Structure 1
Amino acid sequence: MTTSTLDSPFTSAGTSAAASPEAERLADREAASTNVRVLHVINGEHYSGAERVQDLLAARLPEFGFDAGFACVKPDR
């Protein structure tokens, strides 16, 4: 039985693991200009379960072509 992997349309399949630091910086700069920017507006009263999930998700989103930002709002402010 053969298995295949699915590549994200936002990542390139031909990247080298041994790229130079300069090449990595250039690739990061190019990726940043093509990433979709997302702003999450959340209740900033407490850092608990839902906020932790969003935080962990945001750490992985750049791998899939998204730059995530957060705006925390508090009631009555």
Structure 2
Amino acid sequence: MQLAFRRHLDTTPTAYLRQVRLAQAHRQLREATPGDGVTVTAVAARWGFTPSRFTAHYRAAYGVTPSSTLRT
């Protein structure tokens, strides 16, 4: 399976799943509105990340912190 992922998607299954989860978390942070109670910690947990790992992966993928996206 890993070989097929490498050949067709140039990534591993684990990295692919992380990208999908990060994209969903990014969408949720962008769609949040002030006062709706959405927190970075809650979003991280919903998509299976610990807060510190989420922040590191998120920053690597999007170039900003999750809290910056939530505030925008």
TM-score (ref. length: structure 2): 0.28
Higher helix share: 2
Higher strand share: 1
Greater Rg, structure 1 or structure 2? 1
Q: Larger relative contact order (C-alpha < 8 A, sep ≥ 6)? A: 1
